[in-house]
Structure 1
Amino acid sequence: MKSVINTANAPAPIGPYSQAIATGGLLFVSGQIPMNPVTGEIISSDIKAETKQVMENIAAILSKADVSFADVVKTTIFLTDMQSFAHVNEVYGTYFTDKFPARETVQVAALPKNVNVEISVIAVKS
């Protein structure tokens, strides 16, 4: 059985998908972009601010599912420019303290709403 996780504290899906799905002790969080969930505004001032908004959106979804960044076992980071990697990594790293999740980072040609970063995560629900 799967459960849909949805919170007003993260952007509403912009297509036919859920913010997250919980099933079999796992939480699959859809890719989050730097969209302010209250205003719908895309944060595009700089890559660090964009990454912070993405991570805050993920935090809101994790919280709604009663898990935290400590429960994240896998992340995927999508960037439109790999030159941004160090800045993204700097912000991303502040959300994890130890036992870091597995991760890949890939450069893509484009992302939804023409953003520069999107991150998805998988967490273990105990």
Structure 2
Amino acid sequence: MRKHLRTLAASVVLATTTLSSSYAAEVEFLNASGALPANLPFSDAVRVGNLYFLSGQLGVKPGTMELVQGGMEAEARQTMENIATVLKANGLAMSDIVKCTVMLADMADWGAFNEVYRSFFTPPYPARSAFGATGLGLGARAEVECIAADRDPTAP
């Protein structure tokens, strides 16, 4: 798992370096979706140029820290709905996602998660990484973070 975290950290550093060296982009911290309570110590998303880096989402009921009941399928569906909520609050859609990172508490849930995940996209699918994680927040079964690209950043 540490290898995956190092790889992820290196990717973020590379992306940040590439962005900062290619142009001076405005950075905006976004918290208007209502997907999570407002008192958490992180932003819903951060916009850098036309890229949106979404914080990891869990299968919590909107505006709460309470996981939905119903197992992996229900949690996965709510997780993806929460991502859609953050995107919509920023004028984006699921089709704007270019990369997702999926963390599963139990890799045996891979198939069940994929069934739900697939229902939120149409091909071509975003790039994706997935790995097992010991101990997700709130005892969640899945957490998903995404990067989205605004294909028309001049639109209102």
1:64 maps to 2:85: no
Q: Spell out the pairing of 1:77-116 with structure 2 (5 A cutoff).
A: 77-116=102-141
Q: Spell out the pairing of 1:2-81 with structure 2 (5 A cutoff).
A: 2-12=27-37, 15-81=40-106
* In structure 2, distance between residues paired with 1:7 and 1:15: 13
Shift of 1:6: 1.8
Say if 1:12 and 1:19, in contact at 8 Å, map to a contact too: no
Q: Give identity over the alignment, percent.
A: 34
* In structure 1, distance between residues paired with 2:105 and 2:94: 24
* In structure 2, distance between residues paired with 1:105 and 1:81: 11
Aligned residues: 126
Shift of 1:14: 6.5
Say if 1:74 and 1:101, in contact at 8 Å, map to a contact too: yes
* In structure 2, distance between residues paired with 1:88 and 1:13: 27
Instruction: Give CA-to-partner distance per residue, 1:31-64, whole Å, 9 cap, x none.
Output: 0011101454211421000000000100000001
Listed as ranges, the gaps of 5+ residues in structure 1 are none
Say if 2:57 and 2:79, in contact at 8 Å, map to a contact too: yes
Corresponding residue for residue 7 of structure 2: none
Shift of 1:105: 0.7
Bigger shift: 47-56 or 16-25? Answer: 16-25
Say if 2:76 and 2:116, in contact at 8 Å, map to a contact too: yes
CA RMSD of aligned residues (A): 1.5
* In structure 1, distance between residues paired with 2:140 and 2:119: 21
Say if 2:36 and 2:64, in contact at 8 Å, map to a contact too: no
Moved over 4 A (4+): none
Q: TM-score, normalised by structure 2?
A: 0.76
* In structure 2, distance between residues paired with 1:16 and 1:2: 18
* In structure 1, distance between residues paired with 2:125 and 2:61: 26
Instruction: Indicate the structure with greater strand content.
Output: 1
* In structure 2, distance between residues paired with 1:69 and 1:34: 17
Instruction: Give CA-to-partner distance per residue, 1:49-100, whole Å, 9 cap, x none.
Output: 0000000100000001111111100000000100000000000001101221
In our comparison, the structure showing a higher alpha carbon Rg is 2
Listed as ranges, the gaps of 5+ residues in structure 2 are 1-25
